[in-house]
Amino acid sequence: MKTIAAILTTLFLAGAACAQGYPNRPVRVVVPWPPGQATDIAARVVAERLQTSLGQAFVIDNRPGAGGAIGSDAVVKSAPDGYTLLAASSGPLSIMPNLQKTPYDPLKDLAPISLVARVPFALVTNPSFPAANAGEFVALVKANPGKYTFSSSGTGATAHLFTELFNSMAQIQARHVPYKGTAPAITDIINGQISYTIETVAATVSHVKSGRLKAYGVSTKQRAGAMPDAPPLAEVAGVPDYDAAAWIGYAAPAGTPREMLLRISNEIQKALQSSELKERFLALGLDPVSTTPEAMAQFMRLEQERYATIIRNANIKIEQ
């Protein structure tokens, strides 16, 4: 027994010593999206702070493709030594595994570190849409099943799922028109060809401010920092349980020493307490948030279950 205790003590001390010296060389942060996308920007902002606080370079490595699956899989297959991290997000980790076969199981193959942001969405229409508020919007669409259309950046995209969830909870029926990307999906609402969508605040706020879109409310139960005048749809659309947001975080390959995960998580939590960082996130249409590794793991489990339910109830399928 004494021998076992001595071995455990030695391993604990070795792990602590390793964490204290970590990182002692550059850390690679794989972003499974192209530069300029929300996950990329959030990851870069956080990486800058980690580089300053930990004294080592945090190098962004963009690996886009397959809806985020290529970069995510690259991290899963990397050595669990703390020197390869993933800019994690809801698309490839919470949604995609429920729609198609992925080369990884995010709940088994990744070690969560911390959330860094929630991504609120907004219900928007052309300014000429004949409803003064969210309540009138729901009443009008409900009274005309199948008449109105809603767009998204593609079948199975987050905007598609959040709009389907809203439609179901509000008991309205409308026709889905998928696009190849967010920009054209919004452009056709501005042009009056599509009735509405629920899309990210980041993608819609400038059009709302310019008067090209009308916002009825946001998808989260709290007001979005970048769109403070838009009330929560849960309060104004008759859907009290509606609370939906995409998410961005940091993760590592499964098996990465817990001490290293905690070191990064603690630094992220400190960084996101900064008023400067909060303001940068809000300006990007992101709501800053941070968590412990355990809290993020529980969050990811619940998110995957929630998306599975949305996809199943709406009978959403994509071509393999």
Over residues 16-38, the pLDDT tens digits come to: 545 669 999 999 999 999 998 89
Tokens of 12: 């604990």
Q: Is there a cis peptide before residue 23, judged by omega within 30 degrees of 0? A: yes
Which one, of 286, 313, 319, 233, lies nearest residue 90 by Cα?
286
pLDDT at 318: 78
Chain region(s) in the chain for CATH 3.40.190.10: 120-236
Tokens of 166: 């809203």
pLDDT at 17: 46
Judged on CB neighbours under 10 Å (0-12, 13-18, 19+), 8 is exposed
Judged on CB neighbours under 10 Å (0-12, 13-18, 19+), 10 is exposed
Q: Using N-to-C axis directions, what is the helix angle for 258-271 and 38-54, rounded to 10°? A: 100
DSSP bridge pairs for 61: 30
Chain region(s) in the chain for CATH 3.40.190.150: 2-118+246-314
Which one, of 231, 206, 205, lies nearest residue 217 by Cα?
231
Statement: 2-118+246-314 belongs to CATH 3.40.190.150: yes
pLDDT at 11: 45
Cα distance between the two ends of the chain: 55
Local structure of residue 228 (DSSP, 8 states): T
Q: For the domain bounded by 120-236, which CATH number is listed?
A: 3.40.190.10
Cβ proximity of 224 and 120 under 8 Å:
yes
Q: pLDDT means per 10 residues in the chain (320 residues)? A: 47 51 97 92 96 97 94 98 98 94 97 97 97 98 97 94 96 96 95 97 95 98 94 97 96 98 97 92 92 98 94 82
Over residues 65-87, the pLDDT tens digits come to: 998 999 999 999 999 999 999 99
Tokens of 4: 């076992």
pLDDT at 109: 98
**319 CB-near residues (< 8 Å, 6+ apart):** none
This prediction's pTM: 0.87
